[in-house]
Chain A
């Protein structure tokens, strides 16, 4: 029971307090790039959640049961990026074969995820024992981070769509005002720091 409590705390903290986008700055490129259209955002979030969890499920045992015993832990970055690229490729093929509709929905976003730093960043972060204590915890932290990514990118996109129709100073149109919105969101999330 206590173990479940710790896992729940990990989930909340990785989702809200140490949000990947707003406090550790992972995955900002996709955050600023795809958030202009709501339909894109749902596709991207779904793709990130799936790829992140599957990647960590593979990279964590790979590191601790293959790379470290062989004494080649230092090649983790190279190994992980290959695993992520392979996972993305595999999901793409499976979706194409079995779920045509979803494949068309996610289509463009899947390949982009290979270079989404949130995926590699979380896969590398959870190797740290302070960050996640065991395999189960690592998976929960990854899921929490992916959910946090989805939460922030969806709400950010909703604000950005409203901003398009507002009278913003000329120099601030587009990216600058989006960054300032992100800044205010980050401040708001700072307030969640006392949650745990």
Chain B
């Protein structure tokens, strides 16, 4: 993907969120998306972390792109990513220990998240620092929004409530009860629910795209 045409900054940002959404369109980084989406808060924490890591690694890799020899670029990227993730893990351990225990193994596993290495390879290794920063923010926000939406469905339908402040270091803690938890579909909070919600949402997006292309066809036929 050689970027011959100069992209506008806004386009770079929005492409990452909508047109090339990591989860819903590209289906990259599914492991953390399925694993941490069982509660809204852990999804939010994960989203913030991925945004930070992706912006940091994109900037570092873009700044070093002329120094790193082409043959060893993948190992070099992996070391940069692993270092950034380790730094972030220490930070989370120190300031949000509840979140760190809840996400557990999935914090160090951001290292092997396909999105991070994917953006490094596809964008940051070839583009300027500011563009890479924007691209990193956009792609990571797209990922973050996707897992937050999935988590909202799973927590609200599964437990009938939404909890804030139990994992993240907020100064308050409250539970927003929508309906009694005995009517919740507890299966949605379990691993099986992650696959189910993700499958139904992907189908909904495909159905919407099909509908749009069908409408365009009708418009074209009328002309």
Contact = CB atoms under 8 A, between A and B. Distances in A.
Contacts of A82: 75, 78-79
A170 B213 CA distance: 14
Given A179-B195, A187-B192, A115 B86 contact: no
A78 B75 CA distance: 11
Contacts, number: 118
Q: Which of A82, A170, A176, A178 has the most CB of B within 10 A?
A: A176
Given A74-B86, A85-B75, A180 B199 contact: yes
What DSSP secondary structure best describes chain B's contact surface? helix
B191 A186 contact: yes
Nearest to B204: A171
Interface residues of A, number: 42
B190 interface: yes
Contact of A120 (B35, B112, B193): B112
A91 interface: no
B220 to A, nearest CB: 20
Nearest to B190: A190
B206 A117 contact: no
Interface in B16-41: 27-32, 34-35
Given A117-B112, A182-B195, A171 B207 contact: yes
Interface in B186-210: 187, 190-196, 198-200, 202-204, 206-207, 210
What DSSP secondary structure best describes chain A's contact surface? helix
A180 B105 contact: no
Contacts of B28: 29
A115 B82 contact: no
A171 B201 CA distance: 10
Interface stretch (A2-10, A19-27, A41-49, A101-109): A19-27
B31 A29 contact: yes
B127 interface: no
B85 interface: yes
Nearest to A183: B195
Given A32-B30, A77-B108, A115 B195 contact: no
Interface of A: 22-29, 32, 74-78, 81-82, 85, 114-117, 120-121, 124-125, 169-173, 175-180, 182-184, 186-187, 190
Q: Which 3 A-B pairs have the closest CB atoms?
A: A179-B199, A183-B195, A171-B207
